[in-house]
Structure 1
Amino acid sequence: MTQQPISETKKKIIEASIYLFNSKGFAGTSVREIANRAKVNIAHISYYFKGKGGLLEYLVSHYYEGYIQTIEENYFQLKYRNAHNVLNKMVLDILNYQHAHRQLSRLVYREVTLDSILIREVMTTYLTKEKYYLQSVIEKGIEEGIFRKGFIPHIIIQLRSLLHMPYLQPQYMSEVLYIQPHETYFVHQYYKELKNWLNSLLLDNQSVEGKLVVSR
């Protein structure tokens, strides 16, 4: 899945809208404010996105296209690697994707908490795919005798919460915990902690010895 390059004008509109939607909220941002910040003619927003609603739809869909592609690429590695290695790499790649698109991650995850027609469509397409891939990897690990049996929906809830939390509550991270999720080192440190958590939650230590072969 190759994303087409976008024009400079369209890029300016996208960057301006992400900033304003994050700082003022979608409802509190006008099309004119987006155009002014992007330094483009207001008509360009209608031309490229058919208005503010279309712009939000584009941002959410564009984000999840890349997000699901990141998960899919790891899922397909189940043919060659055990589920433990696949899940660890999937988690790392999701963290890196979120970090590379951190302002958009913040916007999208906040919007997903709201009830709207757009978000219902996201739930039935992208998030259903996400659940399928995560569930399949965990089930494969159980089948391989690496992961212990558990209630998979609860595992997915916990994993998604830990993955997304830094972008849902960036002020809490920086102002209360004094952690800077925008820094590159955060991804590496956070991944180590998530990997330890996954190991403690999923690994069947009584039967896992000899079954984990690290794929390079």
Structure 2
Amino acid sequence: MTQTNSRDTKQKILDAAIYLFNSKGFTGTSVREIANRANVNVAHISYYFKGKGGLLEYLVSHYYEGYLKIIEENYSHIQYGNTHDVLSKMILDLLHYQHENRQLSRLVYREVTVDSVLNREVMTTYLTKEKYYIKSLLEQGIEEGHFRKGFIPHLIIQLRSLLHMPYLQPQYMSEVLHIQPHEAYFVHQYYKELKLWLNSLLVDKFSQDRNLLAIR
């Protein structure tokens, strides 16, 4: 099998697994079903991923590696701009990443709500790193006077909820709210709303200056 054919086979398996894990659940999906949908031999799944569990682990790890790369790249620009601009760009880039990988996003966010060995590994690696960068950004913003003081764990909960919910519950979005998160325009419209949340963290310089004058 050539290298190109190998990549094609792996991608077919991944695409099939994402679809079936989303529609039938991880436990409700068999290796044979994945192989049939991907139109490959069952042995290929064992060869490339060491079974269904290894396949899910690969999908989750691959997703969070890309997710964290975006966070790390944006965080590295902190020396060139203020924390508000860095966090704003990070949010936009993460929205685009989720949109481009929306089926995988839904699968990953759902799986990390399950108490499992894989989930605990994700918590102690990828999600701990995510917390470190976001916490550092918020702390630096508060220290520099860009952001108002707040309980940072609660701010992280708010940010993650705002970012992930549209891709964790796309059926709720489309069938109840009649919003289509799969449409390209959604990212730009939703980003405007997230900017309002982000701006709520900013220190009100006008009020701050007025209070200083009153004290004097």
Q: Same fold (TM over 0.5)?
A: yes
User: One-letter code of the match for 1:101?
Assistant: N
Question: In 1, Cα distance between the equivalents of 2:207 and 2:25?
Answer: 48
Question: In 2, Cα distance between the equivalents of 1:195 and 1:85?
Answer: 11
Question: In 1, Cα distance between the equivalents of 2:90 and 2:206?
Answer: 23
Aligned length: 205
CA deviation after TM superposition for structure 1 residue 206, in Å:
2.7
- Any unmatched runs of 5+ in structure 2? 209-216
Within a 5 Å distance, the mapping from 1:96-115 to structure 2 comes to: 96-115=96-115
Question: In 1, Cα distance between the equivalents of 2:56 and 2:187?
Answer: 27
User: One-letter code of the match for 2:196?
Assistant: N
**Is the 8 Å Cα contact of residues 145 and 208 (structure 1) preserved in structure 2?**
no
TM-score by length of 1: 0.92
Question: In 2, Cα distance between the equivalents of 1:196 and 1:106?
Answer: 25
Q: What's the counterpart of residue 138 of structure 1?
A: 138
Question: In 2, Cα distance between the equivalents of 1:176 and 1:208?
Answer: 40
CA spacing shift, 1:207–1:68, aligned 2, 3 Å: farther
**Is the 8 Å Cα contact of residues 146 and 208 (structure 1) preserved in structure 2?**
no
1:48 maps to 2:48: yes
Q: What's the counterpart of residue 38 of structure 2?
A: 38
Going by fraction, where is helix more abundant, 1 or 2? 2
User: One-letter code of the match for 1:33?
Assistant: E
1:147 maps to 2:154: no
CA spacing shift, 1:142–1:99, aligned 2, 3 Å: same
TM-score by length of 2: 0.92
SS in 2 for 1:7: helix
User: One-letter code of the match for 1:11?
Assistant: Q
Q: Write out per-residue CA displacement over residues 49-98 of structure 1, whole angstroms, 9 at most, x where no aligned residue.
A: 00000000000000000000010000001011100000000000000000
Q: What's the counterpart of residue 174 of structure 1?
A: 174
Question: In 2, Cα distance between the equivalents of 1:97 and 1:72?
Answer: 14
Question: In 1, Cα distance between the equivalents of 2:198 and 2:38?
Answer: 42
Question: In 2, Cα distance between the equivalents of 1:142 and 1:158?
Answer: 17
Q: Write out per-residue CA displacement over residues 101-155 of structure 1, whole angstroms, 9 at most, x where no aligned residue.
A: 0000000000010000001000000000000000011111111111011100000
**Is the 8 Å Cα contact of residues 83 and 141 (structure 1) preserved in structure 2?**
yes
- Any unmatched runs of 5+ in structure 1? 210-216
Q: What's the counterpart of residue 159 of structure 1?
A: 159
**Is the 8 Å Cα contact of residues 148 and 203 (structure 1) preserved in structure 2?**
yes
Question: In 1, Cα distance between the equivalents of 2:75 and 2:207?
Answer: 21
Question: In 1, Cα distance between the equivalents of 2:74 and 2:190?
Answer: 19
Q: What's the counterpart of residue 212 of structure 1?
A: none
CA deviation after TM superposition for structure 1 residue 208, in Å:
9.2
CA deviation after TM superposition for structure 1 residue 167, in Å:
1.1
Q: What's the counterpart of residue 211 of structure 2?
A: none
Q: What's the counterpart of residue 63 of structure 1?
A: 63
Q: Write out per-residue CA displacement over residues 21-68 of structure 1, whole angstroms, 9 at most, x where no aligned residue.
A: 000000000000000000000000000000000000000000000000
SS in 1 for 2:205: coil
